[in-house]
């Protein structure tokens, strides 16, 4: 079961990806995790990526794809994986499809967690993070016992820059321009499945499981 997760920032695709991975015993793969692992292990690909990262530049698509394909070759991916955060653009998606095809492989599903922009802005602007331990909460969906104070360590909560409404709006504009076209791309590939991400987290997961086990 080889899955790529789609959805706007704040749609909850990362949460769903982790749950899918846990239920089916396959790895949850994000580009950030791959970069960190390769940097930590000092691999040849990791050292190549470090050159760009140290200069504050984006790692080129071709190198990112090399890192992803290398990750797919590991034993724990034998029964599949859940890819989260890549591809973000049509050229990346086309390159991934070709690289998989060259290995006589392909994705089974592209799962789009669909949430309207308005819901995302409300959802993300309610998130709070702990300055001390990094714990995350939500004023509506996961409130702390004492407002503004972390349940885990008693630290002070704050709104991350990424969660401020004006920043969220900018990220959504970028998403609609660059990433949303992937939905049509994977629809044309015949593997797109869409779930209503405005529902309760458990219900969204139920709907995904129903798709995977249909």
Q: Which residues are catalytic?
A: 13, 88, 127, 160, 171
Q: How many CB atoms lie within 10 A of CB 168?
A: 22
Strand order in the sheet with 2-6: 28-30, 81-84, 2-6, 109-114, 192-196
Contacts of 80 by beta carbon, 8 Å cutoff, 6+ apart: 1, 2, 3, 24, 26, 108
Give per-residue burial for 109-137: e unless 16+ CB within 10 Å, then b: bbbbbbbeeeebbebbbbbbbbeeeebeb
Residue 120 phi, psi dihedral angles, 5° rounding: -65, -45
Question: Smallest Cα–Cα separation from 184: which of 108, 54, 89, 65?
Answer: 89
């Amino acid at each position: 079961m080889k899955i790529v997760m789609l959805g706007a920032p704040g749609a909850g695709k990362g949460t769903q990806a982790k749950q899918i991975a846990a239920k089916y015993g396959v790895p949850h793969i994000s580009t950030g995790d791959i970069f960190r692992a390769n940097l930590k292990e000092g691999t040849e690909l990791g050292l190549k990526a470090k050159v760009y990262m140290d200069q504050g530049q984006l790692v080129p698509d071709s190198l990112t794809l090399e890192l992803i394909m290398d990750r797919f070759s590991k034993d724990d991916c034998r029964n599949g994986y859940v890819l989260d955060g890549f591809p973000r653009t049509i050229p990346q998606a086309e390159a991934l499809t070709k690289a998989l095809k060259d290995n006589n492989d392909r994705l089974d599903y592209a799962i789009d967690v669909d949430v309207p922009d308005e819901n995302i802005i409300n959802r993300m602007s309610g998130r709070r993070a702990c300055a001390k331990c990094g714990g995350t909460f939500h004023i509506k969906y996961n409130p702390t016992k004492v407002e503004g104070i972390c349940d885990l360590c008693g630290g002070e909560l704050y709104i991350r820059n990424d969660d401020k409404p004006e920043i969220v709006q900018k990220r959504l504009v970028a998403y609609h321009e660059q990433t949303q076209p992937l939905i049509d791309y994977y629809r044309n590939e015949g593997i797109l499945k869409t779930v209503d991400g405005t529902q309760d987290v458990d219900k969204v997961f139920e709907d995904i499981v129903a798709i995977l086990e249909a």
